[in-house]
Amino acid sequence: MQFNKVEICGVNTSKLKVLSEAEKMSLLKKCHGGDAKAREDLVNGNLRLVLSVIQRFTQRGENLDDLFQVGCIGLIKAIDNFDTSLNVRFSTYAVPMIIGEIRRYLRDNNSVRVSRSMRDTAYKAMQAKEKLMENGSHEPTVDEIAKQLDLPREDVVMALESIVEPVSLYEPVYSDGGDTIYVMDQIGDRNDDCNWLDEIALKEAIGNLSDREKRILSLRFFQGKTQMEVASEIGISQAQVSRLEKGALTRIKSQL
């Protein structure tokens, strides 16, 4: 599957019409009035929105065709539940619905098994949260959700934590001209015993680096600071820190 050309049910989505906001509102009103053709046009006119959402999940090793199908289910739910009387763009409402449907699918197919009772508690907690949000003007606290379910606060916290999707250390969080920053780049290492630069101690290789590169490596691996902290201290962007750090490490490794 390619993002710019996807065939789903024999339809090439790259050739689908992109609906204007006015067209979406008109079709939504017809759809809610029972017009099946308007509902079909809405789905076809928003498949590119589904494609844009599933790009966030490309690094997880999941079958993208499956994610696309699941995303379409979220889109249909958004179409059926959207309130046209509110001054809100349809995509603003639909994107979280599509993401939520995909995340539920990933949770249910997660290799880390969670007991059915705990998963049921988590789903009840999410339903209670949505109900409380409909009745109030703020996001409910864990205590409010626990009270609604008549359960101990600790049970609700554990249940919700059990279905949180794990994040890979190699998941990209920022990219600037091909210099990608991953989750692992955001994590500081404060365990000196695991400091590989300290163990290698290649003074000659490190001595060939520039003063700025030496300082970056010292802050990152000897003082355990994150790239964001190093960038703030040196006065450059985090992308520049990442680029200099990787370049310095590459040169050191080439001299081993």
- Nearest-angstrom CA–CA distance, 81 and 32: 9
Q: Does position 254 have pLDDT exceeding 80, yes or no?
A: no
Q: Does position 1 have pLDDT exceeding 50, yes or no?
A: no
Average pLDDT, the chain: 77
pLDDT tens digit sequence for 70-109: 889 999 998 988 888 888 888 888 888 888 888 888 777 7
Lowest-confidence range among 59-63, 104-108, 191-195, 199-203? 191-195
For the chain, list the domains and their CATH numbers: 7-108 (1.20.120.1810), 116-162 (1.10.10.10), 172-254 (1.10.10.10)
End-to-end CA distance of the chain: 41
Q: Are 68 and 22 in contact (CB under 8 A)?
A: no
Going by C-alpha positions, the residue among 217, 242, 213, 214 that lies closest to residue 227 is: 242
pLDDT recorded at residue 10: 53
Q: Are 132 and 140 in contact (CB under 8 A)?
A: yes
Q: Are 97 and 70 in contact (CB under 8 A)?
A: no
Helices 47-54 and 64-81 cross at an angle (nearest 10°) of 130
- Nearest-angstrom CA–CA distance, 73 and 79: 10
pLDDT tens digit sequence for 27-57: 888 988 888 898 888 888 888 888 888 887 7
Give me the amino acid identity at 219: L
Q: Does position 231 have pLDDT exceeding 80, yes or no?
A: yes
Q: Are 105 and 67 in contact (CB under 8 A)?
A: yes
pLDDT tens digit sequence for 156-194: 888 887 766 666 665 666 655 556 666 666 665 555 444
Tokens 């003082």 belong to 223
The arithmetic mean of pLDDT across residues 194-208, rounded, is 58
What six digits make up the tokens of 1? 């599957």
- Nearest-angstrom CA–CA distance, 57 and 61: 8
% of the chain residues with pLDDT over 90: 1
The arithmetic mean of pLDDT across residues 184-206, rounded, is 56
Residue 146 contacts by C-beta under 8 Å, 6 or more apart in sequence? 152, 153, 155, 156
